[in-house]
Structures are given as C-alpha cells and as structure tokens.
Amino acid sequence: MNRTIKIRPSASPLLLALSIALLAIATSFAATSQAQAPARFVGSITSIAGTTITVKTDAGQAYQVEVPVAASVKRIAPGQKDLTTAQTIQFSDLAVGDRALVKLDPDAPAGTTQALQIIAVKQSDVAQKQQKDREDWQRRGVGGLVKSVDVGSGVIVLTSGAGATAKTITVNTTKSTMLKRYAPASVAFDAAVPATIDAIHAGDQLRARGTKSADGASIAAEEVVSGTFRNISGTIASLDTTAATLVVKDLTTKKQVTIHITTDAQMRRLPDRMAAMLAARLKGTSSGFGGAGGGGAQSPTGGAGATQRGGAGQYGAGGGQGAGPGGGQWSGQGSGQAGGGPGGPGGADPQQMLSRAPVIQIADLKKGDAVMLVATDGTTDVTAITLLAGVEPLLEAPAASQSLLNNWSMGSGSGAADAAAQ
C-alpha cells in the first residue's frame, strides 16, 4: 500500500527563487569589486528602528545595520537579476518582511556596521507574484501519480482521478523544462530542489505546469515538481495531542509508525453516509449520490470568494469554475436528485466529496480510530500531509481508496503545490 502522492503545488518556490536572484546580484558585485570585497548578505528584514534595520539570513543569523542617508536603496521585482531595471526608493519605503541584499560600506567608521547599498524585494511584490503563480498553476497545471517515465524522450505518463473520473495524462518535457523534487522528509514546495528526470519513478506524485492540449490529455511542461510519499492505512494505537503525534499500526506492514501532525496537514473526518457512498462508488456498486439538501463548502483550490454551492443533493454538485482569485474547480450548482442530474449516479466527484468532509483537529481523534493518510516517505517516523478518519468502509476497497486519497491530496492541499499546484 506504499504509494507516492502529490501535494498541491499554493505558489511557486518563490523564496528559493528570490534568494537565488539576490545571490546572483551579490556575485556580480564580487566580480566587479576590488580584491578585498566588502561583506554582503541576503535575508529578510525583521525590524526597523530609526535608521537601523535588522536582517535575518536564511541560515538564521541576524545582523543590525545602520543605513545612512548616502546609502543606495533600490527595489527589484521578484526573480529579477539585472540591476539596470532596479528602481531607486527611499529608506522609508522598506518594511518588515521585505527580502534584502545588504552590501556593507568598507569605509564605515571603525566599530560601526553601515550599509553602502541595499537591494530589496518588497513583500507586497512577493505576495502578488505568489497569487499570479497560484492562478497560473490552477489554469495551466495538471497532477497525478506517475505511471511511467521515458527518460530518453522526456515523456511522463500520469494517472489522475479515481473511479469513473480516472484518466491518463501525458507530460512532455524538454531540456528547458524546470524539474524539481521535494526534499526528503519535507512537504514544503518552497524547499523543492532541482532534479533530473531520472529521479522520477512510477508511483511518485507529480504536478506539471505548461500548455495543455485541447482535450487535457497532454501537456507541454514548463515546470515539473515531483516527490515520493507514503500511504498508510490502519488504526490509532496511541496519540499525544501535546506533541501532535499519533502512532498508527500500518495494515500493510503490520508495524507501528509515528505520525507527526503539523499545522499544514489536512485532516478531515468522513460522515458515515459519505464513507459508505464513496466505498460503494469505488467498488462499482453505487447507484447514486442524491439525498437531502446540502450546504455550501469552500472550494479547496478556490481561495477567497470561490465557494461550492450544494444543490438539493447532500453530496451532489455540478461542475463549473468558481469565482474569486482561486477559481475553484469544483464550484457550481447541482440538482442532486437521486437518479439524475449532477448529484445522480456517477455525478458526484469523489475528490469533491472528500473536500466537503468536516475538518478536524488532532484532539478530535482517539485511540482505535481507523485512519488513512498520505505522509512523507519513511519507515517508522513520518509527517502527515493528508489524514482521513471515519474510513472503515473505504478499507474494504484499499487499492481504489489509495488512488482516491492520493489524487485528493494533490488537488486540495495548500501552499505551494497548489501554489504550485493550485
């Protein structure tokens, strides 16, 4: 039952890109400076007091720097490396949260640390770029589990969806395609590192962004992010809410695994009726999903303003694009009539149903609960990405359930993968 799974790409690996861009500028300084180059560093502004700023580097070092009136302060766009397009700004334009490359003045009075030049990337600019990246991943992105990889041709075949919605997608890569890989034991999109295509294997979770064919069956990829993750199904043997950990006995390996629950983990509990419906659908015995009226729920990829509108069916919903910045892919209205319409036989999307399940916290779980989860790759110690409780009926169709959970995790996560992925 060990499979790989995808997490949604929230935004692109922007922090890494910004650091690379600023370091590239620092390198250009070094190339044109005299033999004894002045000190320089890159980080985020954590405080501003008078004419002094504190900058904390990504390595965790904090520096207090005085910024005299004569210091040059410039602003560049996220990812920009060419200073010819930099805009001169005032010291007062800097703000906590901005990224900054600081070049120190080698001629400053002894015992003082003064800036000669500051190159800043405004936090507001970063937020705007992240939003654009999220929208672009939603509009031009695809995701699924890797079925096969042809290293020679650069073709990757994915499987996406579950049950009646399952399909294959061909991802075409070239030498110019940006390939990245999730770091070991990490679920952070921003921490993804460059990789080669031969690092991608069958069963991996993958998202790609680029130009899709008219039928959506293929994509010319500009960017690809992949990773190896683990599926675990079992019962909770113990839990520690203070430490935010669970111990689950894996039904496949028969061994106990410690699960760490972070604030980024998606946790939901399936209502009994929903779990039964999903299990029936995955086993091919479902006759419909209609029922008593349902309310609206926020689209997992919709962002602000993109909500799902339930029709008459409790778990039925129609298609259509959601409003709002995120463009929720499952928003719309459906009649939910048993036996027909969007909420009828075969109408409700399994991933959509999962996304309507109530959100829970670790305190809502107890010893003996059955859970299914997707986590970082590991043998005895992993970090949860997605966790579902109330899954007893789904464990009767384990293979289909894994596919269901994998694809839902890819398509409904937060942060970058959706950012990169949503």
DSSP of 18-54, one letter per residue?
A: HHHHHHHHHHHHHHHS-SSPPPEEEEEEEEEETTEEE
Q: What is the C-alpha to C-alpha distance for residues 64 and 51, in angstroms, rounded to an integer? A: 10
Percent of the chain with pLDDT over 90: 38
Mean pLDDT of the region 5-17:
48
pLDDT at residue number 67:
94
Domains 14-127 and 131-229 share a fold: yes
Domain ranges of the chain: 14-127, 131-229, 231-419
Radius of gyration of the chain (CA): 24
pLDDT tens for 75-130 read 998 877 777 888 999 999 999 999 999 999 998 888 888 999 999 999 888 888 87
- Residue with more model confidence, 277 or 364: 364
Please give the C-alpha separations between residue 420 and each of 147, 165, 224, 293, 417, in angstroms, as whole numbers: 21, 23, 9, 34, 4
Q: Is the Cβ–Cβ distance between 324 and 304 less than 8 Å? A: yes
Report how far Cα 47 is from the mean position of its chain's Cα atoms.
29
Mean pLDDT of the region 149-172:
88
Residue carrying structure tokens 């070239």: 174
Q: Right CATH number for 131-229 from 2.40.30.60, 1.10.1050.10, 2.40.50.320, 2.60.40.10?
A: 2.40.50.320
Report which secondary-structure segment, H or E, holds 55. Answer: strand 52-57
Q: Is the Cβ–Cβ distance between 317 and 343 less than 8 Å? A: yes
Q: What confidence category does residue 7 fall into, taking pLDDT thresholds of 50, 70 and 90?
A: very low
DSSP of 181-248, one letter per residue?
A: EPPTT---GGG-EE--GGG--TT-EEEEEEEEPTTSSEEEEEEEEEE-EEEEEEEEEEEETTTTEEEE
**Three-state DSSP class for residue 269:** strand
**Three-state DSSP class for residue 161:** coil
CATH class name, domain 14-127? mainly beta
Q: What confidence category does residue 72 fall into, taking pLDDT thresholds of 50, 70 and 90?
A: very high
Mean pLDDT of the region 270-299:
59
Phi first, then psi, for residue 224 (nearest 5°) are: -135, 135
Question: Which range, of 39-43, 68-72, 255-259, 279-283, averages the lowest pLDDT?
Answer: 279-283
Q: What confidence category does residue 20 fall into, taking pLDDT thresholds of 50, 70 and 90?
A: low
Query: What global pTM score does this model have?
Result: 0.56
**Three-state DSSP class for residue 345:** coil
Four-point Cα dihedral 8, 182, 44, 24, nearest 10: -120
**Three-state DSSP class for residue 384:** strand
Q: Is the Cβ–Cβ distance between 411 and 300 less than 8 Å? A: yes
DSSP state of 359: B
